[in-house]
Structure 1
Amino acid sequence: MKIGLIGTGNMGGILAEAIADGQGIYPSNLYVTNRTLSKAEELKRKIPQIHVCQTASEVITNTDLIFLCMKPLDLFPILNDNQALFTDDKCVVSITSPISVEQLETIAGCSCVRAIPSITNRALAGVSLVTYGKSCTDEWRKKVDELLSTFSSPVEIDNSITRVASDIVSCGPAFFSYLTQRFIEAAVSNTGIDHDTATILSANMLIGLGELLRKEFYTLPALQQKVCVKGGITGEGIKVMEQELGDVFDHLFEATHEKFREDLEAVKKQFN
């Protein structure tokens, strides 16, 4: 199987590196292109065996499974301009949440899938969110699932929870990185610890926390109970968080869903 990636920006590049490191295919079977070709060439310096193509049509022609790794409003022109190349033996995968598989199917006459990756996939970890179109054959379902399993845990989701699931899986690392950065900055500002030491301690704390959850030693509530001894220091910190955080996460999901609705409307106009 030959795989194509159209778009080698942040997520496209991460996806290419994850596919190569996960050994789902030989890197020599990976074909990539980007609107700014220098970005594709930069990726080739990291993975020398991949093929850099001049155009999207060249990628589609030479591959079986094509990932569209671009912003929502940039995807429609690629589909529309190359419609005849998406023959029924191929499979096209969009990695952007505002575009549904049903919309892909209105243009591409092949198996259609939406697979939303996460930056955690770069470490061959975390979840990828998958929604299969009605046009997707059982053979392509199996192939896509096997490929995603080489660098992630694929979770099939219904279209109705696409945004919130993506907030958790795909945006979540950025949200919690921001919280951790604020945590580190507060430690440096209020105590004698230096920034590098606070960063090392915080990073390793997060890695350890992840291992505790992965190995299912504790649930999140059980972990808090275990650390938060009655009358202890942790409890005082939790009280502050309860008071200060308030409805911040409610507002976070409200904001992401509002932006999602705007994107849906913009995409809808293109596909209609």
Structure 2
Amino acid sequence: MRVGFIGTGSMGSILIEAFIRSGALNPEQIIATNRTLTKVERLAQSYPGLQAAPSNKQTAAESDLLFLCVKPMEFKAVIDEIESVVSSQQTVVSITSPVMIRHLEELLPCKIAKIIPSITNYVLSGATLCIYGDRMLPEDEDLLENLLSHISAPIRVSEQYTRISSDLSSCGPAFLAFFVEKFVEAAVQTTGISEAEATQLASEMTLGTGKLLTTGGFSPAELQKRVAVPGGITAEALLIMEKELCGVFYDLIRTTHAKYEEDVEKVEARLFRTKVD
């Protein structure tokens, strides 16, 4: 199987490197291109055998499975370039949430899937959200999920829940990192503990908590109950968090959804502007 990548920015390069390091793909199976070709050439130097292609068209033509790892507003130019060489036997995978399955199925003749990866995939962990178009066969879905299972837990979601699922799995690491950062800042400024020591403690705590909530079998509520003795220090602190933080999460979700809906409208207008004109 030949796997292509159009776009080797942050997430495109994370996927390529994770697939290679996990053993899911050999470098020889990968062909990739980027608007700035030197970025792909650096990947090819790091992973001998990986082919750096000079154009999107060549990458699309030589791929069985093609990942589109470009920004939403760049999709129109990429699709215009590759549509003449894409066949019905190929699978094109978008990793961009505002680009809808129906958009790609109208513009390309191939099988269409959408995945939403996470930066946690870099350490072969976390989830990958999987959404499939009507042309995908069960064996196509299994092949893609088998590939993704080397670097993540593939989870099928409905496209209508793309945004909230992405908030939890893909944006979540940034939100959690912000919490850790502010926790550490408060610890340092209030007590004088060193930033390095506080960061190490908080980071190890985050790792351990993730394991308890997954392989450990705890639910978030059960974990709080196990740690917080009634009337104890943790319980008192949780009361403060309940009072001060709960509204923040509702505001966060309203904000991400409003931005997502705006992006979907912009992408749709750009993809079909020529037809409308």
State the alpha-carbon separation in 2 of the partners of residues 132 and 231 from structure 1: 49
Task: Report the 3-state secondary structure (helix = DSSP H, G, I; strand = E; otherwise coil) of the residue aligned with 1:5.
Answer: strand
How do residues 1-272 of structure 1 correspond to structure 2 at under 5 angstroms?
Answer: 1-272=1-272
Distance 1:208 1:244, change over 3 A: same
2: distance between equivalents of 1:211 and 1:269? Answer: 43
In structure 2, how many angstroms separate the alpha carbons of the residues matched to 1:94 and 1:45?
Answer: 26
2:218, 2:91 → 1: CA distance?
Answer: 40
Q: Deviations over 1:53-89 (max 9, x none)?
A: 1111111122111000011110121112221111112
Unaligned stretches of 5+ in structure 2?
273-277
Distance 1:75 1:256 in 2: 21
C-alpha spacing 1:142/1:217, structure 2 compared with 1 (3 Å): closer
The CA distance in 1 between the partners of 2:258 and 2:265, in whole Å, is 11
Cα RMSD (Å): 1.2
TM-aligned CA deviation for residue 136 of structure 1: 1.6
- For 1:92, what is the secondary structure of its paired residue? strand
- Displacement of 1:48 after TM fit? 2.8
Structure 1 residues 140 and 246: alpha-carbon distance in aligned structure 2, compared to 1, 3 A threshold: closer
Shift of 1:35: 0.6
Partner AA of 1:188 in structure 2: V
Q: TM-score, with normalisation over the residues of structure 2?
A: 0.95
Q: Which moved more, 1:213-222 or 1:82-91?
A: 213-222
Q: Deviations over 1:77-123 (max 9, x none)?
A: 11122211111121100000011111111111111100111111111
- After superposition, the C-alpha distances for 1:110-143 in whole angstroms (9 at most, x for unaligned) are 1110011111111111111111111123332221
State the AA in 2 paired with 1:60.
A
> 2:257 corresponds to which letter in structure 1?
H
The 2-side partners of 1:144 and 1:71 are apart by 22
Alignment match, 2:275: none
CA contact (8 A) 2:90 2:111 kept: yes
Local SS of the residue matching 1:154: strand
Secondary structure, aligned partner of 2:173: helix
| Partner AA of 2:258 in structure 1 | E
For residues 52 and 27 of structure 1, what CA distance do their matches in structure 2 show? 11
CA–CA distance in 2 between the matches of 1:26 and 1:269? Answer: 38
Deviation, 1:217, is 4.1
* Alpha-carbon distance, 1:216 to partner: 2.9
Conservation of the 8 A alpha-carbon contact between 2:7 and 2:34: yes
Letter in structure 2 aligned against 1:105: E
Distance 2:138 2:235 in 1: 52
For residues 204 and 152 of structure 1, the distance between their equivalents in structure 2, rounded to whole angstroms, comes to: 20
Other structure's SS at 2:84 match: helix
How high is the sequence identity, in percent, across the aligned residues?
Answer: 39
* Matched letter for residue 20 of structure 1: I
Runs of 4+ aligned structure 1 residues displaced above 6 Å come to none
Q: Quick one: distance in 1 between partners of 2:141 and 2:217? A: 33
2:4 aligned counterpart, secondary structure: strand
1:25 CA drift (Å): 2.1
AA partner of residue 43 (structure 2): L
